[in-house]
A and B are shown apart, each in its own frame.
Chain A
Amino acid sequence: MALPVAFFALFFAWPVAAIVTRGLKVDGVWRLGRILDVVTQPDIRHVLWFTTWQALASTALTLLLALPAAYVFARLDFPGRQLLRAVVTVPFVLPTVVAGSAFLALVGHNGLLDELWGVRLDTTVWAILLAHVFFNYAVVVRTVGGLWSQLDPRQVEAARMLGASPSAAWRKVTLPALAPAVAAAALMVFLFTFTSFGVVQILGGPTFSTLEVEIYRQTTDVFDLSTAAVLTLLQFAAVGAILAVHAWTVRRRETALRLVDPNTTARRPRGAGQWALLAGVLGTVALLLVLPLAVLVRRSFESPGLGSYRALTDADGGTFLVAPVTAVWTSLQYAVAATAIAVVIGGLAAAALARRDAGRLVRSFDALLMLPLGVSAVTVGFGFLIALDEPPLDLRQSWILVPLAQALVGAPFVVRTMLPVLRAVDARLREAAAVLGASPWRVWREVDLPMVRRALLVAAGFAFAVSLGEFGATVFIARPDNPTLPVAVARLLSRPGEVNYGQAMALSTILMVVCAAALLVLERLRTDRTGEF
């Protein structure tokens, strides 16, 4: 418990405190009255309103479209299931900038729909909502589907034998068991869309602006750090409140579940209903997730003779000191380090939180741990830059700075993924191990770890993907000679010209391939290790 607390105090609380001080304190005097001034501005009120309702709408739409997919991936067995599961996860780890451009290419001016039918969505809120679904589809599928595939089907069979209709069995047995996972997924989606940055920046145009975009605008365009700090505080408070409510509701609903081997629960689809469901999910995935990526890949190959890819290996492109392709290696190294940190910190925190006798103080840490997700990544990056550049902790020159920031963003994913499964482990199994002479550490290793290894791998995969695609914080602290993939993409996109755009598309495609490969390896790993030793 001490390690996660120290980590978050040092690398989260302190930088945030620094930026708030920088923003609110003028000439050594606190000016708290600014908060009221800012909130009462009509355009800020408009931003707050839009941020909230688009997040709610995005969450509802994502749940509507992704919950059937969670069922399909958990319970139906069909050829290509593993591959498709990885495909679904890829959008989640793509840099928001790239996804934004991909949707622009699909539904924007001169986009695919425009070419075919003259349909344009980039001036409506639908482009933003669809892009949010594109990103968060995987959150619901993996969080809910992961638990769903481990629910014992015999529970439903028992309910059916007691006279429950299929829909009654679903409502009374399956849904209550899934509720914590659905709540966790919905919370994540809401947080991501509430703090959405890249997507809104590109697809929102001048009409639509979220809190995050506004913070960025105030910081970089208007140089009004004070207003930016106030907005950060507002976001902080809103997110903190949501998380507190969530932690409270989840604690009430999580029960010890009978988890079974997920490989035994999937069946071939039976009946018209299941086939229709499968077809519907596959159609949604094809239209919403694959099509934008296909457009992206096509663009990367548009210049003749793989020109965009060849250009990546040239160091003298002018944009960077090194060849853009080195960003691939840099990104991988950073992501591995960040994953290790996130898994250790998040795993320890989840283990402490899962204890039934955890005190109120520890449990409130649950909500606290989620804060880095809600606070804008831009704030984290900027906070790192101004807080960790002077003694006693001068990390400006250290390579570890980027993985630390990425781990900060990744650790909450680890906690979220691990906690429901850890809480579902029967406490008496741990007691049985303790009585047989296992120290608390051995109990964790011998009892918890084998049961949650799956969840741990999923969590590590998530942390890795998040680190690989992390943009908002990294863009502030990555050194110019060592850009990560998303940073390189953004820098290329910010420059005019077909060559730069082509290179950005090519790098994005590489990032996509790396993520897909990493996820496929993970999927293999998950299914191969069924035995204990």
Chain B
Amino acid sequence: MLLSLDAATVRFGGRAVLDGVGLEVVEHEVVCVLGPSGSGKSTLLRAVAGLQPLHSGRVLLDGRDQAGVPAHKRGVGLMFQDHQLFPQRDVGANVAFGLRMRGVGKGERDGEVGKLLELVGLPGAARRAVAGLSGGEQQRVALARALAPRPRILMLDEPLGQLDRSLRERLVVELRELFGRLGTTVLAVTHDQGEAFALADRVVVMRDGRIAQTGTPLEVWQRPADAFVARFLGFDNVAGATVAGAAADSPWGKLPVPDGSAQGNRTVLVRPAGVRLRPADQGLPCTVTARTFKGTHVSVLLQPEDAPRLEAACALRDAPEAGATVGVEFDAAEIVVLD
């Protein structure tokens, strides 16, 4: 086990920012910690890096307790959210910094810097000033700088957070490909589920300093552990329901649920694709309050008479106008009873 956290706890003035977190990362694995701001993600990275002392619990690297090991001796890499490039050094000197700290000679350093800059797509940029870089270029330099000393584990704090959308989508693919090629072990944190799912072998969802769920992106997407995770992933059709057999009694009326669903008082999740629009006289009557074009489909917001709002996904040509009255039926295949 390359990295393990054992009941790691950090308190700021009595409030637990990390609350008994247990987490393991194996070699070559890319793990993404996903959570809203204030959930303790960044503190988790700082604790592993040795920048934030633990109140209790342990951080182990290669099975060795890191208590008392200062940040500069842990051999981990951390890419800061806003990069924190050294302003009075040029690109090459920034990338070479970690190698210099390890006493690598100048010739070898220069060769390594050249290779790394090529790797991140900035060949020949070594003499450029940091102040003149665009956001995406800064991000690449920060990545090269973090990779240079070959850290045992590379940690990324909101790696693509400040970049514009198209760049983010391109870089996330590049990163994934790069880490796969280099076999880098990565622990990243982000609040963006798309980023996490695209980057990670395994996703860890955090809430208020605790781990709410871990699993592959597919597992987490298909079976969110609870209402919080479901809502955080962007599912809004979540409600309490009483499950009996293959039906659930919910605010939206009787819902069909898959065979083998847990019974009793539960939380049910209805994916937007499972909300089927029908003529007004069939199923649950709703008013269309808004429709948003999402590229591949149209998201339609529906307001039933006395039940929570529903989100439906439908094809563009089937989408009703705002203000229209429709009926709604549900598809068991797109309904999940949460444990």
**B49: which A residues are within 8 A, CB to CB?**
431, 435
The B-contacting residues of A in range 445-475, CB under 8 angstroms, are 446-447, 450-451
Q: Is the interface of A mostly helix, strand, loop or mixed?
A: helix
User: Chain B 158-192, CB within 8 Å of chain A: the 1/0 string?
Assistant: 00000000000000000000000000000000000
Judged by a CB distance under 8 angstroms, whether B221 is at the interface is: no
Judged by a CB distance under 8 angstroms, whether A524 is at the interface is: no
How far does the Cβ of A196 sit from chain B's closest Cβ, in whole Å?
40
Task: Return the chain A residue nearest B77 by Cβ.
Answer: A435
| CB contact between A432 and one of B80, B88, B102 (< 8 Å): that residue | B80
Docked-complex contact A437 and B72, CB < 8 angstroms: yes
Interface size class of B (residues with CB under 8 A): 20 to 34
Docked-complex contact B72 and A435, CB < 8 angstroms: yes
Docked-complex contact B93 and A437, CB < 8 angstroms: no
**B73: which A residues are within 8 A, CB to CB?**
437
**B97: which A residues are within 8 A, CB to CB?**
433, 436, 438, 446
Docked-complex contact A437 and B102, CB < 8 angstroms: yes
Task: With a 10 A CB-CB cut-off, give which of A426, A431, A447, A533 has the most chain B CB atoms.
Answer: A431
Alpha-carbon distance between A433 and B97 when the two chains are bound, in angstroms: 8
Judged by a CB distance under 8 angstroms, whether A251 is at the interface is: no
Alpha-carbon distance between A436 and B51 when the two chains are bound, in angstroms: 12
Docked-complex contact B93 and A436, CB < 8 angstroms: no
Interface size class of A (residues with CB under 8 A): 20 to 34
Docked-complex contact B84 and A432, CB < 8 angstroms: yes
How far does the Cβ of B104 sit from chain A's closest Cβ, in whole Å?
10
Judged by a CB distance under 8 angstroms, whether B302 is at the interface is: no
The A-contacting residues of B in range 75-116, CB under 8 angstroms, are 75-78, 80, 82, 84, 86-90, 93, 97-98, 101-102
**A433: which B residues are within 8 A, CB to CB?**
86, 97, 101
Docked-complex contact A532 and B89, CB < 8 angstroms: yes
Alpha-carbon distance between A433 and B74 when the two chains are bound, in angstroms: 13
Docked-complex contact A437 and B51, CB < 8 angstroms: no
How far does the Cβ of A115 sit from chain B's closest Cβ, in whole Å?
55
Alpha-carbon distance between A118 and B156 when the two chains are bound, in angstroms: 76
Q: A429-B84, A442-B101 are in contact. Are A436 and B70 (CB under 8 A)?
A: no
Q: A435-B51, A435-B72, A532-B93 are in contact. Are A428 and B98 (CB under 8 A)?
A: no
| CB contact between B78 and one of A432, A451, A531 (< 8 Å): that residue | A432
Q: A432-B78, A433-B97, A434-B51 are in contact. Are A439 and B72 (CB under 8 A)?
A: yes
Docked-complex contact A429 and B77, CB < 8 angstroms: no
**A429: which B residues are within 8 A, CB to CB?**
84, 86
Instruction: Show 15 residue pairs from A and B whose CB-CB distance is below 8 angstroms, ordered by the A residue.
Output: A428-B82, A429-B84, A432-B86, A434-B71, A435-B49, A435-B51, A435-B72, A435-B74, A435-B78, A436-B72, A436-B149, A437-B149, A450-B86, A450-B88, A532-B93
- Closest 10 pairs (CB-CB, A-B): A437-B101, A436-B98, A434-B71, A432-B84, A435-B78, A434-B72, A450-B88, A532-B88, A438-B101, A437-B72
Give the B-binding residues of A (Cβ under 8 A): 426, 428-429, 431-440, 442-443, 446-447, 450-451, 531-533
